[in-house]
Structure 1
Amino acid sequence: MKRQKAWKVLSTAALLAVLAVTGCSQSAAPPQQGAQGGSTPEQATQDAGGQADMTAKLRLNLKTEPPSLDPPKGFDSTSNEVLNATMEGLVRLDKDHKPQPAMAEKWTVSEDGKTYTFTLRDSKWSNGDPVTAQDFEFAFKRILDPNNAFPSAFLAYYIDGGEAFNKGEGTADGVKVKALDDKTFEVHLNAPAAYFLHIITQPTFFPVNKKVVESNPKWAENASSLVTNGPFKMEDWVHDQSVKVVKNDGYWDKDSVKFAGIDWVMVNDENTQYQMYKTSQLDMVQTVPIDMKKELIDSGEAKVEPEASIYYYRMNTTMPPFTNVNVRKAFALAIDRKTLIENVVQGKQPAALAHVPLGFPEPEGGDFREKGGDFFKDNDVEQAKELLKKGMEEEGWTTLPPVTLTFNTSDTHKAIAQVLQEMYKKNLGVDVKLENKEWNVFLADQRARKLQFSRSTIPADYGDPVNYLELFVTDHPGNRINYSNKDYDALVEKIRNTANETERFKLMHDAEKIFMDDMPLVPIYFGTKVYMDQSNIKGIIRHPVGTIDYKWVEIGKK
């Protein structure tokens, strides 16, 4: 079955063009560009409707407390939003979503595509210390240290010796990253990875101040002890209430920062957030009330942009009834996604009938998802009933074991969960209990694999389908549902070490088929971004793959 090309309403061509360039060519760094992306100062000021207000602060809603502002530990969208404003890695995505020089002013790549040598620019930490190659070596090895158990460590498995160290089978000395001197940092990969520069734009790979981290294990827990190197520095952090950052005048590219700072509040109610936006207490919102979404989109007040992401529910494969593959398939097939999207989610999302989202270009052209097609039919209720019956007979169940569907606090997540609850009752005769948890508690429980049936939104960490496939290798920290298939594991490992792109993409399609045959998740929809900006705000960069960036914002005077 081939997917209908509904994504074209969200500009498939534009997204494909973006992702096609996220893996930079393996050559010397591109020439530096004044503001490193975004609008030019003159253009942004003109677009903002007048002279930019250099004293203004951007007022945003973080919704909830960031789980951690330690880069490899804060592996979630909330933490990353703050980290991307206050810290910076070797490269940074520009307005065209391409990696550009940041802490590294240039780099070279060896002929075999495995060794990257970065030359650092002169830059300082917010406490005045110089940012050195030794800080990067320390940070990269720290990501992989098994004693830290960072959830994002897998992203560094592309580094030679990284996976072995993280799994307790190697040492820190075996991780092939090295400070050749204060300004030269070398990284050696297991195999060529054209998307490596995109990977290291992820906050996981931001440097940390070696002296600060070694002297204070709690350095990232409060504003007073946070030492950063990005466009903004921490001013105040009232836990569970607000985060305030101000322009970092010690930042190497401070002239590109055209406003005074950012004030985040933490309001986890979409209606309250919307009212704050309408009364000009917020300059931007990233979600809108579900009962108003269609009206706001149709009127043009709310904008929609594509995003390489998927919204789904995870089924813990060691917790009955999801120990049975046919029961899992029944839960995936019994949902009417079209109705759910049109009447509840309302963001022009394509229904997800597979795992890897739209937006990843094939080597010979076209989209990975469109080539791979769908793996099941939407709202296939009769087949779902047959599969549920078969699964229960296989297990000897006359009554299905209790099912608890868990979501984190959000009006949208709650509405989706309630509709799923109704559909499962109507289509399968199954009573599903709903459970709501605050974000930090939810995330901790899901990562600990304590949840039976739980929601996730997974945006791409970098521009390649393997990012989605690697998450479900046995015991991978992103797995969270105890899924395990030896054939799948072996295939993903082969993908990581295959240099020929045509062959590698074929293997990725094979791996996705194995995964979907096992059906350890219930795909719901592929993502879009629905947002509203005040008319005097310009320059917010929303990457289809990557963290939202405020560096180049300009706030027009009203």
Structure 2
Amino acid sequence: MNMRKGWKLLSTAALVTVLAITGCSQSATPTQPAGGGTAGQASTDTGGQANAAAKLKLNLKTEPPSLDPPKGFDSTSNEVLNATMEGLVRLDKDHKPQAAMAEKWAVSEDGKTYTFTLRDSKWSNGEPVTAQDFEFAFKRIVDPNNAFPSAFLAYYINGAEAFNKGTGNADGVQVKAVDEKTFEVKLKAPTGYFLHILTQPTFFPVNKKVVESNPKWAEGASSIVTNGPFKMEDWVHDQSVKLTKNDGYWDRDSIKYAGIEFVMVNDENTQFQMYKTGQLDMIQTVPNDMKKQLIDSGEAKVETEASIYYYRMNTTIPPFTNANIRKAFALAIDRKTLIDNVVQGKQTPAMAHVPLGFPEPDGADFRTKGGDFFKDNDIEQAKALLKKGMEEEGWTTLPPVAMTYNTSDAHKAIAQVLQEMYKKNLGVDVKLENKEWKVFLAEQRARTLQFSRSTIPADYGDPVNYLELFVTDHPGNRVNYSNKEYDALVEKIRNTADEPERFKLMHDAEKIFMDDMPLVPIYFGTKVFMEQPNIKGIIRHPVGTIDYKWVEIGNK
């Protein structure tokens, strides 16, 4: 359905015309409080007119793949999870981890043992949240029988990786409920950003009794049990999710409105019209053909985000079995033209993997210090690399290439431009295909897609998060990339406590990765959104899931 029939995306002809014409992020590293603290609240100003009975109206776009915390591990699922559940710590308005389900914590002198003291708080079914729930949840993340895509995030915990890879067992995972309110975690090595990792929904607790008694506990409103600011009231699959304030939540007095009503509308023109008519209070994307106008007028806002938009090249599917051909596809793109004329969100062209927003020990930005690994729109070099790669493989004709994206007007527009650029700059015909989000994600995770798009926001505030995704057989890899030297270097990084040395090693690892080029970096991201004037307190973290906890809704 298109409620504005006059609005259309750039046509292929227009894209060809565009091509013919042309031929700094905020710090994402947390400050670790010495002994915990209180949860920071968002700065809001609704003139004393906040409506406690109001509901926040939002658009999820699509059905959440899963509301089981370590299973979801995608932006759509995380958005709902962050509203309905809560971990030991939560990011505050300054993007720093602060006390949440944990009232306080202590860190051992060697930096490897964290002891958390839990608050008195209840699950949505009225039962108390206990340290036993956290122990069960953390071990469940890395249980190999679950095959959760986010299990790697727990590898910092001693014994977690061994259990997940089948060389250890659950008893070897060093997390322990000392008593009902005391939870202990032991790490393999000192990890200064560990609290930031714990803000990720993967580490939200689950109710041990509920999960053990019902394998489908997270699949419906009547069975899901949560511990966060809101609880599930209704869930009509592929249509809507309704949340209401959770009176058993420890910080319920900070919740200044009645709940959230999510719809699932995947057409950007339709959602824009819903926003303009007051049916939505906020939208996180705007129609491509209006984006520049809306940003320039101030109606749409732009904020920084530590993320990268890229296309993955499956290294086991020809022609991307050849490194020179992969490099050719990376160099043959005019990113500035793509951003200025299609994406239009003030993004930065990406000629590397790790995005902007990660400070070095000396305060410099990791990306700025690491620089670019190739030139944008380097057509002649791209042609030479393509020719060289085909000669190496003995190919006179390039094997067919299919670019896959999940259904979205914005992704479609980008894919069409890339298709035209590859035709114009390399003489390569690329087929386009789109898939619904849940199907797309499942196939990409199964490593069956040849050339597929991704937006990767940081899971936590450290560059190693991007590097670890591509070690051999990592669940985030998705393109069968494998380099033993790279794997060994990433493992060394994760066990290096000296920060200047660790950052040097991360630059070395990124250089190896970019020389192998298993992806086509396109741009480092921003958040473009529109918000009704009576809505205050939505928090968008440069690294982390959008947070609705501290919203206030003013009277219109």
Instruction: Name the TM-score class by shorter chain.
Output: over 0.9
Identify the residue that residue 348 of structure 2 maps to in structure 1. Answer: 350
The separation in 1 between residues aligned to 2:205 and 2:293, in whole angstroms, is 43
Identify the residue that residue 171 of structure 1 maps to in structure 2. Answer: 169
Identify the residue that residue 8 of structure 1 maps to in structure 2. Answer: none
The separation in 2 between residues aligned to 1:165 and 1:486, in whole angstroms, is 22
Residue 188 of structure 2: SS of its match in structure 1?
A: coil
> Once the two structures are superposed, what CA deviation does each residue of 1:277-309 show, in whole Å capped at 9, x if it has no partner?
000000000000000000000000000000000
Identity of aligned residues (%): 84
Q: Please, which of 34, 38, 50 is the counterpart of residue 32 of structure 1? A: 38
Identify the residue that residue 282 of structure 2 maps to in structure 1. Answer: 284
Determine if contact 2:302/2:528 at 8 Å carries over to the other structure: yes
Gaps of 5+ in 1: 1-10
Gaps of 5+ in 2: 1-23
Alignment map for 1:435-450 (pairs within 5 Å): 435-450=433-448
- The CA RMSD over aligned residues, in Å, is 0.7
The separation in 2 between residues aligned to 1:250 and 1:426, in whole angstroms, is 60
Identify the residue that residue 5 of structure 1 maps to in structure 2. Answer: none
Residue 486 of structure 2: SS of its match in structure 1?
A: helix
Alignment map for 1:464-503 (pairs within 5 Å): 464-503=462-501
AA matched with 1:536: N
The separation in 1 between residues aligned to 2:53 and 2:38, in whole angstroms, is 28
Determine if contact 1:304/1:529 at 8 Å carries over to the other structure: yes
Identify the residue that residue 205 of structure 2 maps to in structure 1. Answer: 207
Identify the residue that residue 434 of structure 1 maps to in structure 2. Answer: 432
Across the two proteins, how many residue pairs are aligned to each other?
533
> Once the two structures are superposed, what CA deviation does each residue of 1:303-352 show, in whole Å capped at 9, x if it has no partner?
00000000000000000000000000000000000000000000000000
The separation in 1 between residues aligned to 2:91 and 2:369, in whole angstroms, is 28
1:402 maps onto 2:400 in alignment: yes
Instruction: Kindly state the Cα deviation for residue 96 of structure 1 after the two structures are TM-superposed.
Output: 0.5
Identify the residue that residue 62 of structure 2 maps to in structure 1. Answer: 64
1:530 maps onto 2:528 in alignment: yes
Identify the residue that residue 182 of structure 1 maps to in structure 2. Answer: 180
Determine if contact 1:49/1:536 at 8 Å carries over to the other structure: no
> Once the two structures are superposed, what CA deviation does each residue of 1:392-433 show, in whole Å capped at 9, x if it has no partner?
000000000000000001000000000000000000000000
Identify the residue that residue 337 of structure 1 maps to in structure 2. Answer: 335
AA matched with 1:38: A
Determine if contact 2:303/2:526 at 8 Å carries over to the other structure: yes
The separation in 2 between residues aligned to 1:223 and 1:530, in whole angstroms, is 31
Instruction: Kindly state the Cα deviation for residue 51 of structure 1 after the two structures are TM-superposed.
Output: 1.2
Instruction: Kindly state the Cα deviation for residue 28 of structure 1 after the two structures are TM-superposed.
Output: 1.6
Residue 292 of structure 1: SS of its match in structure 2?
A: helix
TM-score by length of 2: 0.95
The separation in 2 between residues aligned to 1:336 and 1:98, in whole angstroms, is 36
Name the CA shift for 1:407/1:293 in 2 (closer, same or farther; >3 Å): same
Q: Please, which of 230, 249, 252 is the counterpart of residue 250 of structure 2? A: 252
Determine if contact 1:37/1:96 at 8 Å carries over to the other structure: no
The separation in 2 between residues aligned to 1:528 and 1:302, in whole angstroms, is 12
1:141 maps onto 2:139 in alignment: yes
Q: Please, which of 361, 364, 369 is the counterpart of residue 362 of structure 2? A: 364
Instruction: Kindly state the Cα deviation for residue 37 of structure 1 after the two structures are TM-superposed.
Output: 2.1
Q: Please, which of 189, 192, 215 is the counterpart of residue 190 of structure 2? A: 192
The separation in 2 between residues aligned to 1:502 and 1:467, in whole angstroms, is 17
> Once the two structures are superposed, what CA deviation does each residue of 1:51-101 show, in whole Å capped at 9, x if it has no partner?
100000000000000000000001000000000000000001110011111
Determine if contact 1:119/1:185 at 8 Å carries over to the other structure: yes
> Once the two structures are superposed, what CA deviation does each residue of 1:127-185 show, in whole Å capped at 9, x if it has no partner?
01110000000000000000000000000000000100000010000000000000000
AA matched with 2:63: E
Residue 524 of structure 2: SS of its match in structure 1?
A: strand
The separation in 1 between residues aligned to 2:407 and 2:538, in whole angstroms, is 26
AA matched with 1:245: L
Q: Please, which of 307, 310, 329 is the counterpart of residue 309 of structure 1? A: 307
Residue 234 of structure 1: SS of its match in structure 2?
A: strand
TM-score by length of 1: 0.95
The separation in 2 between residues aligned to 1:97 and 1:468, in whole angstroms, is 19
The separation in 1 between residues aligned to 2:160 and 2:469, in whole angstroms, is 16
Identify the residue that residue 88 of structure 2 maps to in structure 1. Answer: 90
Residue 72 of structure 1: SS of its match in structure 2?
A: helix
Instruction: Kindly state the Cα deviation for residue 543 of structure 1 after the two structures are TM-superposed.
Output: 0.4
AA matched with 1:385: K
The separation in 2 between residues aligned to 1:308 and 1:180, in whole angstroms, is 37
Alignment map for 1:202-241 (pairs within 5 Å): 202-241=200-239
Determine if contact 1:105/1:121 at 8 Å carries over to the other structure: yes
Instruction: Kindly state the Cα deviation for residue 24 of structure 1 after the two structures are TM-superposed.
Output: 1.4
